[in-house]
């Protein structure tokens, strides 16, 4: 059988990489081609993505492929959700894509609920969780600011579609990433036009929704010539939302499983066929996002390793340059359950002095204040595990009305053994971890669906299970201690 070479670009909120996947029909092997930082910048009062630099690195990966003599069969791109670029009538970029952590959306949800459409009505139409950075509120903010870019725009492209456009010159809108916008009807898998019209968003900027797996186009001749590769390489619209790619790569062989895509964010949920949009889902701030093969990802965005990553940046600037492994060992030696934080408190969203914010939160909630790297890190890791328990119990008790047997964790966060142990103890059931490269594996395997004969999601997951090892963690901790800490979290979430 033919061996295929796929190139998967996986853009995270802080870094990106291009990975080669070699698929022989039964297994896929990975190797890194290019890794680069993703450093948003403050530019003229806006927090923006450095798109020109990111596209430079996209081309650098192609140059390295050419230099290694690799003949590619396809290319795919996944990124974070919600953010976008706007194109004018000539197909040129209008401004620079704004980062979802920019403050322009502060207060926009509340303003929208009072002046445009109620929270309940928005959820009824979209089934999406409420986050102030959702595309809907970004566009509403631009409209309220009378931003001229919105008037000029002829096309909105989400970040993976925008990068694919720069490679191919072909514009398109892939379903999974569009489903993060709070502008998609999860029942029709099309734009929620009533919401869009109510918010005054121009219909003309929204393109036809395409399912994951379609061929977007081939490389522009000038891009291929500059990089030294074949211009006929197809660019596949894979599951453009990184979480959708990660969920596709969950190597589950059983039913009734939940997943976490663990990285900057922890995305916990289940895979279902039809969306759930009742009040219990809205109250738990769960979301119905699109998956591959006509699935819905019923999940919750939980503030994930962003909190420890941002804390580490602060410690690094102060000269405490311990690596992540060292931080985990410091946390192991710190006292257990000194304090609990609600990791989804809004103060933890923006960049800044995260350790100080954690200490401030503990003072405000009359808890002992953690001091030093180890104590603060342990509070973060324990609190994440406790929030996972809340999220999985909300699924079982309020939405699915059935037990979840096992939790699969994919993504870079599954390499944190201590957090995996804490999670198994907190949720009281087995945790299966791996593969750590879940997002890019899902990206590559959707390329295999498009051009290499992988027929469906079960076959895709069988290839993943054949290709990468997993590890199972069983609960071993003191249940009474975890129950007590969980009760504390529930108190904090009521405030």
Q: Which residues are catalytic?
A: 242
What residues does 301 pair with on adjacent strands?
267
Q: Are 51 and 98 in contact (CB under 8 A)?
A: no
Reference 266, options 235, 300, 230; nearest CA is 300
Q: How many CB atoms lie within 10 A of CB 253?
A: 10
CA dist., res. 213 & res. 449, Å (int): 7
Q: Which helix (H) or strand (E) holds 481?
A: helix 479-494
**H-helix segments, 145-283:** 148-152, 159-168, 175-178, 193-198, 221-227, 242-248, 279-283
- The sheet with strand 28-37 has its strands ordered as 28-37, 15-23, 4-11, 74-78, 234-237, 214-218
Q: 88-102 burial by CB neighbour count: b if 16+ within 10 A, else e?
A: eeeeebbbbbbbbeb
Q: Are 40 and 64 in contact (CB under 8 A)?
A: no
Q: Which helix (H) or strand (E) holds 394?
A: helix 372-394
In terms of DSSP bridges, do strands 214-218 and 234-237 run parallel, antiparallel, or are they unpaired? antiparallel
């Amino acid at each position: 059988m033919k061996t295929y070479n796929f190139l998967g670009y996986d853009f995270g909120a802080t870094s990106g990489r291009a990975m080669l996947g070699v698929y022989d029909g039964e297994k896929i092997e990975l190797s890194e081609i290019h890794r680069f930082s993703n450093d948003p910048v403050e530019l003229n009062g806006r927090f923006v993505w450095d798109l020109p630099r990111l596209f430079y690195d996209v081309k650098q990966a192609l140059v390295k492929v050419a230099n290694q003599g690799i003949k590619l069969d396809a290319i795919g791109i996944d990124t974070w959700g919600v953010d976008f670029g706007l194109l004018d009538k000539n197909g040129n970029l209008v401004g620079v894509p704004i980062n979802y952590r920019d403050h322009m959306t502060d207060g926009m949800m509340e303003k929208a609920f009072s002046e445009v459409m109620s929270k309940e009505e928005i959820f009824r139409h979209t089934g999406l969780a409420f986050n102030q950075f959702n595309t809907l509120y970004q566009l509403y903010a631009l409209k309220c600011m009378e931003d001229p870019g919105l008037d000029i725009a002829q096309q909105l492209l989400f970040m993976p579609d925008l990068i694919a456009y720069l490679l191919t010159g072909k514009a398109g809108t892939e379903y999974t990433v569009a489903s993060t916008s709070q502008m998609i009807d999860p029942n029709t898998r099309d734009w929620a036009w009533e919401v869009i019209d109510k918010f005054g968003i121009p219909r003309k900027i929204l393109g036809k929704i395409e399912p994951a797996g379609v061929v977007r186009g081939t490389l522009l001749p000038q891009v291929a010539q500059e990089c030294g590769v074949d211009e006929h390489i197809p660019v596949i619209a894979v599951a453009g939302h990184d979480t959708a790619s990660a969920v596709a790569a969950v190597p589950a062989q059983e039913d009734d499983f939940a997943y976490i895509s663990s990285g900057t964010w922890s995305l916990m949920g289940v895979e279902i066929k039809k969306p759930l949009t009742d009040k219990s889902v809205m109250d738990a701030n769960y979301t119905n996002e699109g998956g591959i093969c006509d699935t819905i990802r019923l999940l919750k965005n939980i503030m994930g390793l962003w909190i420890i990553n941002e804390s580490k940046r602060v410690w690094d600037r102060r000269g405490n340059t311990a690596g992540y492994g060292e931080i985990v060992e410091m946390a192991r030696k710190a006292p257990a359950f000194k304090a609990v934080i609600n990791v989804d408190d809004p103060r933890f969203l923006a960049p800044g002095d995260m350790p100080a914010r954690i200490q401030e939160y503990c003072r405000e909630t009359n808890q002992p204040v953690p001091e030093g790297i180890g104590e603060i890190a342990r509070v973060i890791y324990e609190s994440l595990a406790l929030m996972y328990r809340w999220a999985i119990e909300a699924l079982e008790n309020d939405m699915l009305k059935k037990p979840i047997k096992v939790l699969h964790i994919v993504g870079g966060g599954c390499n944190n053994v201590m957090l995996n142990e804490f999670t198994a103890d907190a949720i009281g059931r087995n945790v299966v971890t791996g593969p750590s490269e879940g997002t890019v594996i899902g990206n590559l395997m959707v390329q295999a669906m498009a051009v290499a004969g992988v027929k469906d999601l079960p076959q895709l997951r069988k290839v993943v299970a054949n290709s990468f090892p997993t590890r199972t963690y069983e609960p071993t901790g003191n249940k009474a201690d975890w129950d007590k800490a969980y009760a504390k979290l529930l108190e904090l979430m009521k405030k």
